[in-house]
Amino acid sequence: MRVREIVPEVALIATLTRPPSRSGEELTALPARVRFVEVRADRVGSVDPGVLRRHFNGKLVYSLRSRREGGSFDGELAARHERLIAAAERYDRVDLEAERDLVPRVLERIPPERRVISWHGTAADRWDYRDRLGVLDRAAAWLYRVVPTVTHTAEALAALEFLADLGRRDVTAFAAGPAGTWTSLLAPRLGAPVAFGAVERREPDAGRSARRSSLPTTGCHRSSRCASCSASSARSSRARCPRGSTTRRTAWPACRRCTCPSRRSASKTSGPTGCGQVWPRWGCL
């Protein structure tokens, strides 16, 4: 029986890919709507979840991304499974890779409601993603995550088409890579129960405004880059969009005459979660 936790509104998940600062200010500064922090243990190493909980009141997700799926962990499979089982005792969710972690020993120690079953791989068409989901569906989970790495916009659209056709509230699908960054913002509008962002650690002299987290709420930050046309407000007061439009630094998020998906009004408008905050550094939607 599949275990589902129907989320009436999109749950924001901030991914931690660098060791947190001693002050934990990057965690403290996360918006209140962030419900989860995903700890990429393959990058940050061993982090005491108790320390993280002192600065973040939400739930923690443990992720040990293997090198085969774009991560940094390349240890023995038995050692990997030991770490996943140990993490289940201290974290609220544990990310399992469908191609190497769905074994009885791991599944017996990590209950379905605490599993995130993921697949990261090369781009395919939406029908191939259905076959891939069949592999993930071998075990019950709280969330299934399908993330192809793409090089072209058409490949990124295939992941979103798959998600829209599926109509399930326990699956998210979006594309990784420069050509697919924008898809993680659209996935919640197509039925995904979660949206992923990043916890950013800034240097002390970067200024207060630069310490905002890159989580989707609404609008655009003036220092961000347009995900589709690559026009950046930081370059000059008037940058040329490869698609033929112009964008002004003072009017960012602009691309007002651009045909890319980056047309969105400024930060005063309401985002997909209705929180009325900004989308620092996530580009435009």
Q: What percent of the chain has pLDDT over 90?
A: 57
d(CA 10, CA 127): 26
pLDDT tens-place string over residues 24-53: 999 999 998 999 999 999 999 989 999 999
Q: Give mean pLDDT, residues 126-147.
A: 90
pLDDT of residue 225: 37
Kindly tell me if the per-residue pLDDT of 126 is higher than 90: no
pLDDT of residue 204: 52
pLDDT of residue 201: 64
pLDDT of residue 135: 87
Kindly tell me if the per-residue pLDDT of 277 is higher than 50: no
Give the burial string for 64-98 (b: 16+ CB within 10 Å, else e). bbbeebebebeeeeeebbebbeebbeebbbbbbbb
Domains in the chain: ranges and CATH? 11-198 (3.20.20.70), 218-285 (no CATH)
pLDDT of residue 216: 53
Higher pLDDT, 71 or 263: 71
Strand partners for 12: 34, 195
pLDDT of residue 132: 86
| Residue of 277, 272, 186, 214 whose CA lies nearest to 10 | 272
Kindly tell me if the per-residue pLDDT of 5 is higher than 80: no
d(CA 49, CA 11): 20
> Assign residue 232 a region: left if phi > 0, alpha if psi is -120 to 50, beta otherwise?
beta
Kindly tell me if the per-residue pLDDT of 89 is higher than 70: yes
pLDDT of residue 124: 81
pLDDT tens-place string over residues 175-228: 999 999 999 989 999 999 999 998 876 555 444 443 444 555 433 333 333 433
Global pTM exceeds 0.85: no
Kindly tell me if the per-residue pLDDT of 101 is higher than 70: yes
Higher pLDDT, 6 or 118: 118
Kindly tell me if the per-residue pLDDT of 245 is higher than 70: no
